[in-house]
Amino acid sequence: MTLKIGFTGTGYISKIHAAAARVQPDTELVAVVNHRPESMAAFAAEYSIPRQYSTVAELLQEGGVDTLVVSTPNYLHAPETIAALEAGIHVMVEKPMAMNAAEAEAMLEASQKSGALLMVAHCWRFDPEVLWLKEQVDRGRLGKIIRTKGYGVHANWGPGGWFTQKKFAGGGALADMGIHALDTARFLLGDPQPVSVYARIGTHYKDFDVDDTGVIWVNWDNGAVSYLESGWWQPHMDGPEAATQLYGTAGFGQIFPTRLLLPQAERNKVEQIDPGFPLVRDPHCPQSMYDTQMAYFLECIRTGRAPSPGVAEGLLNMRVVDAAYRSAETGEVVKL
């Protein structure tokens, strides 16, 4: 069955999704939505997309798409996703799935009523190095994971435009980058439920109404704790823009660079397990990760399987993000 794919948004990540979609078998890139005719025309030409619309409503009115990839600014994720789901169209929506958990809950409700699938593009779940580390955890090589340490940070750089305006983005570096570190830690821990959140979040490097700096503690119901950092314009980052470390009772594991350190019975003796991934990735977020993500989404549609990361994972992440902002405002631990 050929799947007809539409896109809303024609910016940075839409191009990556379109490039991912066009290499999948039995797909047709049929429609694009953008309020800016010129960038839409350029996108349509680059990916040979025949139909162009200025709103998702117009596209849905005309029909002829099976699925919509939502890669617009965050404030459009919920309305565009809900409209598509109500029309019976499968959706893959970018992270953060919404401006806040309340919007994400409305998306959950729409997906339950619709019967169409909703996937949230938490892309790190499709990365081979993340998947290798997850396999080691699942095999019990690290023992019980006690704590995780991770970050999603841009050093000496940050996005501009809508990303830095609360009314369009919902939140700043936490909603943009910290959510990757949060989702990766949770995935590696086996998707536990959050119990409580404490955060210190602020804006210290630029003049905008969203955050550029955050440290967040999440306590999970399996007893583990995650320490997460989010940032734009930071003066330093510990490695590439996103990385996670796991501290288990039987050893240490990390992405990136990706390896295990397993202490031996003999004092000061440590076995290093090196899976052989390149020490430095360039680019850090390769097209292949998004190709795998798109292939998985299309397979879910074809097989009728509920995607994971889906609405449950996306909503939970929004709840933690909301709790972190609340904690930073009140100075209190927020229970979930």
Minimum distance between the CB of residue 144 and ligand NAD, rounded to whole angstroms?
30
Residue 223: left if φ>0, alpha if ψ -120 to 50, beta else—which one? Answer: left
Q: What track of x and - describes contact with ligand NAD for positions 50 through 79 (by CB under 6 A)?
A: ---------------------xxxx-x---
* Cβ-based nearer residue to ligand NAD, 220 or 325: 325
Minimum distance between the CB of residue 315 and ligand NAD, rounded to whole angstroms?
16
Per-residue tokens: 160: 């501009």
Rounded CA separation 139/79 (Å): 41
Size of the site for ligand NAD (CB under 6 A): 24
224-263 residues near ligand NAD, rule: CB under 6 A: none
Q: Which stretch binds ligand NAD (CB under 6 A): 9-17, 210-218, 229-237, 294-302?
A: 9-17
Of the candidates 94, 129, 183, 212, which one interacts with ligand NAD according to CB under 6 A?
94
Rounded CA separation 49/127 (Å): 28
- Can residue 5 be called a binding residue for ligand NAD (CB under 6 A)? no
Of the candidates 129, 176, 212, 291, which one interacts with ligand NAD according to CB under 6 A?
176
Strands 3-8 and 67-70: parallel
Whether the Cβ atoms of residue 307 and residue 72 lie closer than 8 Å to each other: no
Of the candidates 3, 7, 8, 212, which one interacts with ligand NAD according to CB under 6 A?
8
Rounded CA separation 194/179 (Å): 14
DSSP string, 201-263: EE--SS-SSS-SEEEEEEEETTS-EEEEEEEEEES--SSSSEEEEEEESS-EEEETTTEEEEE
- Can residue 121 be called a binding residue for ligand NAD (CB under 6 A)? yes
- Can residue 293 be called a binding residue for ligand NAD (CB under 6 A)? no
Picking from 314, 324, 297, 323, the residue whose alpha carbon sits closest to that of residue 104 is 314
135-174 residues near ligand NAD, rule: CB under 6 A: 161
* Cβ-based nearer residue to ligand NAD, 16 or 142: 16
Minimum distance between the CB of residue 9 and ligand NAD, rounded to whole angstroms?
3
Strands 270-273 and 259-263: antiparallel
- Can residue 33 be called a binding residue for ligand NAD (CB under 6 A)? yes
Cross-strand partners of 222: none
Residues that bind ligand NAD (CB under 6 A): 8-14, 33-36, 39, 71-74, 76, 94-95, 121, 123, 161, 176, 285
